[in-house]
Amino acid sequence: AQSVTQLGSHVSVSEGALVLLRCNYSSSVPPYLFWYVQYPNQGLQLLLKYTSAATLVKGINGFEAEFKKSETSFHLTKPSAHMSDAAEYFCAVNQKEDYKLSFGAGTTVTVRA
């Protein structure tokens, strides 16, 4: 079964600081990779996705992620945090042979003024 690991269940950053959320997957074949964001009391929204077209993927709200096959990683970054970035972020993967998504445990981001 596909495994997704997000390092750090909580991340606290100052407004304007770099946001870095880590995600590693376990698969010998690069899967499709996604980052989702969940704002309080809301559903999940797709931030960005990796589909092998480019290793650096840009998403909404200034976020981007870099796929590194050698490290089996897909870390999410944003150069300058905004108060509105406070949310929970999930990394997810699916294998190319089916549609089922496997999710990491999530990372909650708080932004300090």
In terms of CB distance, is 28 or 41 closer to another protein?
A: 41
Residues within window 76-105 making contact with another protein, judged by CB under 8 A: 90, 92, 94, 96, 98-105
Residue 104 to residue 92: CA distance in whole angstroms: 6
Looking at 11, 49, 66, 86, which residue binds another protein (CB under 8 A)?
Answer: 49
DSSP 63-78: -EEEEEGGGTEEEEEE
Which structure tokens are listed for 16? 């304007």
Q: Give the residues across from 14 on adjacent strands.
A: 112
Q: How many CB atoms lie within 10 A of CB 60?
A: 10
Residues within window 5-44 making contact with another protein, judged by CB under 8 A: 6, 9, 32, 34, 36, 42-44
Contacts to another protein by CB under 8 A = 4, 6, 9, 32, 34, 36, 42-46, 49, 51, 90, 92, 94, 96, 98-106
